[in-house]
């Protein structure tokens, strides 16, 4: 079934590209591949979640790896709710509902949880998983106009469509998608777009820029009247993201717990991701009036939130997956957490009390 859906999606995209003059910028292609209603990767009923390939999943997220992720994260959420005088949590891109389930189980019973997810197929799964929490959980189709509370997002920013830029040694081009011989193919066009830094790129460099992710954070920050937002994802500060040695960019595809670098094949049957430029995210939040209050590794954030305390007395079955959340060669260092607030002067977030890296942004 998934193969039929992918074939139907490829046919639909190819037809639209032809109708639009034979070329699409990559961000439009990525948006269709991931989010086209009923056919995109995140919109299909057949999408599987799980911690191993045997489950039929394509990748594992921290909440699916260990419930201790959400239990530790809940301590930060509870602190921010208390400081803001709020009882509402908003999660963007809730996936399988694992993080929502963990936070709801750890937070006070009067906390209300709002899931913002564009995928109807995922919403049905989330509703089934969170049924025990009844009226405490609501689903929204878009960002609320005004937010008083705490916003969370785990692996949301990396799935937002990116634009691709290619450097030929003299000029920059925007890399897009055309249809040649019945198949998708890369095609570059001249552009005025540039990466935010120019460290001296070599000819052949391909990299990403993130206007959609930054626009999302800017809008969110404008609507955050009083509260905090915390996003967990893999990525780098700007200087590391656009280092000249990272000449191939960060765009990757994931399927069956295997990674590949060809987004033009099996469209709709695999995930697309790009690492996050956390400097760009921080600047977008600040531009909209929010204050960045912390940036650190996932390992440091979870330890600051008491994960080691939660692990005391844990059996081997619990300990092994939880250690992956902290291990430098697993999720502990690659994944980062950024936090920003509005209307909370003097707020000192628990998750950034040690090891804050804001100076690197």
Query: Can you tell me the mean pLDDT for 312-319?
Result: 86
How far, in Å, are 19, 168, 195, 236, 265 from residue 190 at the CA level?
Answer: 21, 11, 14, 27, 25
Q: Output the pLDDT for position 317.
A: 87
- Identify whether the C-beta of residue 27 lies closer than 8 Å to the C-beta of residue 214: no
- Element holding 31 (H helix, E strand): helix 26-35
Q: Output the pLDDT for position 4.
A: 61
- Identify whether the C-beta of residue 103 lies closer than 8 Å to the C-beta of residue 67: no
Entry field: residues in the chain = 361
Q: Output the pLDDT for position 58.
A: 64
- Element holding 206 (H helix, E strand): strand 206-209
Q: Output the pLDDT for position 51.
A: 54
Q: Output the pLDDT for position 2.
A: 52
Checking if the pLDDT of 247 tops 70, the result is yes
pLDDT 10s digits, 195-215 = 999 999 999 999 999 999 999
Sorted by where each starts, the structural domains of the chain and their CATH numbers stand as 2-360 (3.40.50.12710)
Q: What is the dihedral of CA 346, 281, 254, 249, to 10 degrees?
A: -140
Q: Output the pLDDT for position 122.
A: 87
pLDDT 10s digits, 14-60 = 999 999 999 999 999 999 999 999 999 988 765 556 555 555 556 68
pLDDT 10s digits, 62-85 = 999 999 999 999 999 999 999 999
Checking if the pLDDT of 1 tops 50, the result is no
Checking if the pLDDT of 192 tops 90, the result is yes
How far, in Å, are 90, 163, 256, 270 from residue 274 at the CA level?
Answer: 23, 10, 18, 14
Query: Can you tell me the mean pLDDT for 164-185?
Result: 98
Backbone angles phi, psi at 98, to 5 degrees: -65, -45
pLDDT 10s digits, 322-360 = 999 999 999 999 999 999 999 999 999 999 999 999 999
Task: Kindly report the pTM of this predicted structure.
Answer: 0.95
* Paired sense of beta strands 172-180 and 183-190, if any: antiparallel
């Amino acid at each position: 079934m998934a193969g039929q859906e992918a074939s139907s999606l490829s046919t639909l995209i190819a037809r639209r590209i032809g109708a639009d003059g034979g070329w699409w910028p990559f961000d439009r292609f990525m948006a269709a591949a991931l989010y086209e209603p009923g056919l995109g990767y995140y919109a299909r009923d057949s999408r599987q979640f799980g911690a191993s390939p045997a489950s039929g999943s394509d990748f594992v997220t921290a909440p699916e790896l260990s419930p201790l992720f959400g239990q530790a994260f809940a301590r930060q959420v509870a602190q921010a709710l208390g400081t803001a005088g709020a009882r509402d949590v908003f999660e963007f891109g809730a996936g399988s509902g694992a993080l929502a389930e963990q936070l709801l189980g750890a937070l006070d019973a009067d906390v209300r949880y709002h899931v913002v997810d564009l995928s109807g197929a995922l919403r049905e799964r989330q509703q089934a998983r969170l049924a025990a929490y009844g009226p405490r959980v609501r689903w929204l189709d878009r960002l609320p106009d005004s937010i008083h509370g705490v916003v969370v997002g785990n692996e949301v920013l990396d799935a937002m469509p990116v634009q691709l830029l290619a450097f030929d040694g003299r000029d920059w081009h925007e890399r897009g998608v055309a249809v040649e011989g019945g198949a998708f193919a890369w095609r570059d066009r001249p552009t005025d777009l540039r990466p935010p830094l120019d460290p001296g790129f070599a000819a052949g460099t391909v990299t990403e820029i993130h206007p959609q992710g930054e626009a999302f954070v800017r809008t969110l920050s404008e609507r955050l009247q009083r509260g905090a937002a915390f996003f967990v994802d893999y990525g780098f500060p700007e200087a590391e993201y656009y280092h000249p040695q990272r000449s191939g960019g960060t765009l990757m595809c994931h399927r069956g717990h295997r990674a590949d670098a060809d987004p033009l094949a099996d469209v709709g049957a695999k995930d697309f991701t790009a690492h996050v430029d956390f400097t760009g995210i921080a600047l977008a939040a600040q531009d909209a009036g929010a204050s960045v209050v912390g940036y650190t590794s996932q390992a440091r954030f979870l330890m600051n939130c008491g994960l080691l305390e939660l692990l005391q007395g844990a059996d081997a079955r619990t300990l092994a997956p939880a250690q992956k959340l902290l291990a430098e060669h697993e999720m502990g260092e690659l994944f980062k957490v950024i936090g920003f607030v509005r209307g909370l002067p003097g707020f000192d977030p628990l998750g950034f009390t040690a090891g804050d890296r804001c100076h690197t942004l």
